[in-house]
Structure 1
Amino acid sequence: MRELFRKIQPYSGKIFALGLILFISFLAYNLYNAPVEGLDEKFAYLLRKYGYIILFVWGMLEGEAGLVMAGLLAHTGDMNLYIAIFVAGLGGFAGDQVYFYIGRFNKKAVLKKLISQRRKFAFAHLLLKKHGWPIIFAQRYMYGMRTIIPMSIGITRYDARKFALINLISAWAWAAITIVPVWYFGNEIMVVLHWAKEHWYLAIPIAATFGGGIIYYFNKATKKMERRMLDEN
C-alpha cells in the first residue's frame, strides 16, 4: 500500500483535476435529472441528497460558500452540525495535502508553469521561515496564497507528517469558524436570503460591492505584507 502511494504521489495534481471534472459532471447530470421543478428546488434537492459529498469536495476547493450552505442546512436540520464540520474539515485537509504533494514531487514543473507566481513563492518561503508552523494554520485566511503556501512548503524539506497534523487541525478549525456562526444565526440569514430573492435587483450590486470590498481589502493587505517582507530580505 505504501509503495502504491509513493507511485501515485507524483500524479496527485492530475488525479485531483480528473476527480474534480468527474464530480462536476456527476453534479450536472443529477441536477438536470432532479425530480423537481425550478433551479432553486433542484439545487436544494441535490444538497439534501448528496450534501456531505458536495461539502467534502467544496471543502477541498476551500470555498466558504459551500460551508455557508452547510451551516444553513444544519440550521434547518437537513445536516448534522458536527458531521458537517468534520466532513468540510476533511475536505479542506485533503485539498491542501494534494497541493503539498504537487510541490513535493513536481518541483521543477511547478516552478516552470507558475513562473509568474515566483514572487508569491518567495513570500511564502519567507513566511514559513519567519513564523514557522503557525503560517500553515493561518494560510486559509490569506487571499491569493491558499494554494501557493501548501505547494511552497511541499517544495521545501518540511516534515510531511508535521504538515499533515497541523493542516488537519487547521482545516477543522476553519470549518467550525465558518459553519457554526451560520448555523447559530440561521433564522436571520434566511430572512436576508428571502429578501435578496425578492429584491435581486438590489441584492446583486450590494453583494458585489460588499464582497468586492472584502476581497480588495485582504488582497491589498496581503500584497502590502508581501512587499514589506521581500524588501526586508
Structure 2
Amino acid sequence: MRFNRGRFGATILCFVLISLFTSCSMSRYTKKSLEQAEKQKPFDVIVVPGVPYDGDKTTTVMKMRLHWAKYLYDNGFCRNIIFSGSAVYTPYTEGVIMKIMADSLGIPTDRTFSETKAEHSTENIYYSWKMAKSMGFEKIALASDPYQSRLLRRFQKKYCPGTKSIPIVLGTMNIEEKKLPVIDPSTARVSNFKSIKERESFFQRLRYTLGRRVKQEVREARKSRKDKNA
C-alpha cells in the first residue's frame, strides 16, 4: 500500500481541529457552569465522585477533584461535601479515603461525608443524591472533572432532578503545585477485597456505567410502590 502523505496530513489536521474545538467548547462549558453556580451559591452539598486509591500511585484525577472540592468549600459554593465510592479497583473505599484526605486538607470533618455503595459514575451521583435528600439537603451539585460532568448531564436530569454541575475549571488551580496529604488509609481498607474486574465483565461495567443498575433499582422501586397502592 502506497503511503499517502496528503491524506495522512489531512487526517492529523482533522484530529487537531476536533481536539481544539472540543477543548474550547469544554472551557466555555466549565466557565459558564461556574458563573451560574456563583449566582446560585451556597449549595447545601456537593457530590465528588471517587477515584481509586493505591498509595503513591494515586492519580492526578484524585488530586484535581479533592482540591476542587476544597476550592468550592473555601469560596462559599457549598456547606457540605459528599465523597462517593466503594472499594472498586483497589481494597480501599474511595468515599472514605477521599473524606480522610479532605479532612487532612483542612475542610471541617463534620462537613464531609462518605457514600460507600457506588461503583460506577452514574451510581456516584444517584446514591449520593439519595443520601443528600435523606439528610435534608435540597440544593445539590456534582463537582467533578469536565468530561464526567458533561457525560452525566442527561442522567442527572432524569434520575437526580434538581441537581446542578460545577465542573472543574482547569485554569482556576495550578494543579501541578498542589499536593495530597500523607494519610493512614487503614480505616478505609476492606477485607476479602475482590476487584470489580473479577466480578464484572467489561460490557457489564460499561452497562452499569451508563446507568443500568440505577435504572433497575428505580423500576423496582416504582413497581413496589405500585403494588403497595394496589
Normalised by the size of structure 2, how large is the TM-score?
0.29
Q: TM-score, normalised by structure 1?
A: 0.29
Higher helix share: 1
Q: Which has the higher strand share?
A: 2
